[in-house]
Amino acid sequence: MTAFAPPPGSIWASLPLPALVLDRASNILAVNPAAETFFNASARSLIGQAASMRLKVEGALDKALEQARHNESGVVINEAEVSAGERQPVQATLQIAPLNDQPDLLLLLISPRVLAERLGRARDASSAAKSAIGMAEMLAHEIKNPLAGISGAAQLLAMNLPPEDREMTDLIVEETRRIVKLLEQVEQFGNVRPPDVRPVNIHDILDRARKSAQMGYGAHMTFIEDYDPSLPLTLADPDQLVQVFLNLIKNATEASGDNGGTIRLRTFYDLSLRLRRKDGTGSTLPLQVEIIDDGPGIPAEIARDIFEPFVSGRENGTGLGLALVSKIISDHGGWISVDSVPGKTAFRLSLPMAPRGITTPDEVKS
C-alpha cells in the first residue's frame, strides 16, 4: 500500500484551500485542516473512503482523476457544482495533479468560487480604476472651461429673451451645471490624498456616517446596529472612512427606493481572511464591517463591474461612488467584497487591526 506523509512544517496545514491526496484507487489518503472544515468531518473519518463517495462533482470526478493519472499531468474542472455530505452545493474549481515524486498519487485542490471571485474582483477594480481615472481627470479639466463659457453665453442670451422663451436657456444653464458637478466629482476622485491613518474605533465612524445619512437622504430608512462591542481599533483615516460608509449607505438607500427599507450595519471579528500583496507581504484583515440592505439587489448586467469607475445602474448615476470606496479601502490595505441577491445586498469591508500599544487621541485625553 502506498503512503503519503504530509510535508514537514506547516505548508500542508496552513494551505487555506481544501486539499486531499488520493491513492491509486482514488481513496482518500490524506486531508488538510481546510478540507476537514470543508467536509465538516475529521481526517480520521475521511481517510480510506472513496473520493467519489464524499465529494459529488457535477460532470464526472472519476473521469477527471483517470485522465490526470493517464496523462500524468494536471486537470482542472472549472466552476463545477460540488457537494460534500450535508452541506449546500457550492461552485468550485477543482485542480487535480499527480504528485511529483509519487505520480500514482493525486493531489486534489478545491477552490470555492466565492473566495476566488472576491479576490479577483477587488484586485481588478483598483488597477482599472487608476488608468480610467487619470484619463477622466484630464478630460474633466479640459471640459470645465468651455462649459463655463457656454453657461455664461446662455445667461447673456436669456437677458434679452422674454420670460416665456427662457425655458431653453434655463435648460442649457441647468444641464451645464449638472455636467460641471459630475466633472468636479471626477476631479475630486483623482485628488484623494493618501490616508492620514490613526487608530480609530469603527463604531464611532459608522455612527458619524449613519447620523449624517439620517439627516439627509437616509431619513426614511430604518437603521439597525449590529455591533460587536469588543471589536479592536483599526488603523484608518477617519474622514475617508466616513466617506466610504456614506457612499455605501447612499447606494443602499437609492436601491431601496422611495418606500425606504432597512439598512443593517454589522461589525464582527473574523481572522480567516489573509491578504497577500503583489510584493509578497501579507496581512490579516480581521475587522469586518458589513452594510446590508434589503433592496432589490445589484442588477445582474453590471454586477461584475460595479467597482469600476463610470459603471452605474441608475439613470443619473456617475458610477464613481463604489470606485472611490474601492480606492480608499485599497489605500488602507483593506478589502471590499459584495454578495447580492434580491432582498439582500451586503457590502463587506475587511480592515486591518491597529497594532497594540497605540492609543487613540480620545483615550489619551481621558
Ligand X SMILES: Nc1ncnc2c1ncn2[C@@H]1O[C@H](COP(=O)(O)OP(=O)(O)O)[C@@H](O)[C@H]1O
Residues near ligand X (CB under 6 A) = 247, 251-252, 255, 293, 295, 297-299, 306, 311-314, 317-323, 345
Of 57 and 122, the one with the shorter C-beta distance to Mg ion is 122
Of 218 and 321, the one with the shorter C-beta distance to Mg ion is 321
**In this structure, are residues 321 and 247 in contact, taking their beta carbons and an 8 Å threshold?**
yes
Q: In one letter, which amino acid is 258? A: D
In sequence order, which residues have a C-beta less than 8 Å from that of residue 38 and are 6 or more positions away?
Answer: 18, 84, 110, 112
As measured in angstroms, the least distance from the Cβ of 47 to ligand X is 45
Of 183 and 311, the one with the shorter C-beta distance to ligand X is 311
CA separation for the pair 247, 263 (Å, rounded): 13
Number of amino acids touching Mg ion (CB under 5 A): 2
Q: What share of the chain is helix, strand, coil (3-state, %, to 5)?
A: 45, 25, 35
As measured in angstroms, the least distance from the Cβ of 302 to ligand X is 6
Residue nearest to Mg ion (CB): 321
As measured in angstroms, the least distance from the Cβ of 316 to ligand X is 8
**In this structure, are residues 85 and 41 in contact, taking their beta carbons and an 8 Å threshold?**
yes
List the grid coordinates of 315: 439613470
**In this structure, are residues 74 and 100 in contact, taking their beta carbons and an 8 Å threshold?**
no
CA separation for the pair 274, 278 (Å, rounded): 13
Of 74 and 313, the one with the shorter C-beta distance to ligand X is 313
Q: Is 32 in the site for Mg ion (CB under 5 A)?
A: no
Which of helix, strand or coil describes residue 82?
A: strand
Of 12 and 217, the one with the shorter C-beta distance to ligand X is 217
293 binds, among ligand X, Mg ion, none (CB under 5 to 8 A by kind): ligand X
Of 199 and 309, the one with the shorter C-beta distance to ligand X is 309
Q: Is 295 in the site for Mg ion (CB under 5 A)?
A: no
Calculated CA dihedral for residues 207, 331, 360, 245, nearest 10 degrees: 0
Q: In one letter, which amino acid is 48? A: G
List the grid coordinates of 255: 436601491
As measured in angstroms, the least distance from the Cβ of 57 to ligand X is 33
Give the chain's count of helices (H) and strands (E): 11, 15
As measured in angstroms, the least distance from the Cβ of 90 to ligand X is 24
Instruction: Report the site for Mg ion in 235-264 (rule: CB under 5 A).
Output: 251
Determine the Cα angle at 114 with ends 112 and 120, to 5°: 105
Of 23 and 290, the one with the shorter C-beta distance to ligand X is 290
Of 49 and 262, the one with the shorter C-beta distance to ligand X is 262
As measured in angstroms, the least distance from the Cβ of 301 to ligand X is 9
74 binds, among ligand X, Mg ion, none (CB under 5 to 8 A by kind): none
345 binds, among ligand X, Mg ion, none (CB under 5 to 8 A by kind): ligand X
CA separation for the pair 1, 284 (Å, rounded): 41
Task: Rule CB under 5 A: choose which of 18, 199, 321, 334 binds Mg ion.
Answer: 321
**In this structure, are residues 93 and 50 in contact, taking their beta carbons and an 8 Å threshold?**
no
**In this structure, are residues 310 and 320 in contact, taking their beta carbons and an 8 Å threshold?**
yes
As measured in angstroms, the least distance from the Cβ of 253 to Mg ion is 10
Strand partners, 22: 28, 106
Of 234 and 312, the one with the shorter C-beta distance to ligand X is 312
Q: How many CA atoms lie within 13 A of 21 on its CB side?
A: 18
183 binds, among Mg ion, ligand X, none (CB under 5 to 8 A by kind): none
As measured in angstroms, the least distance from the Cβ of 265 to ligand X is 13
CA separation for the pair 139, 179 (Å, rounded): 12
Footprint of Mg ion (CB under 5 A):
251, 321
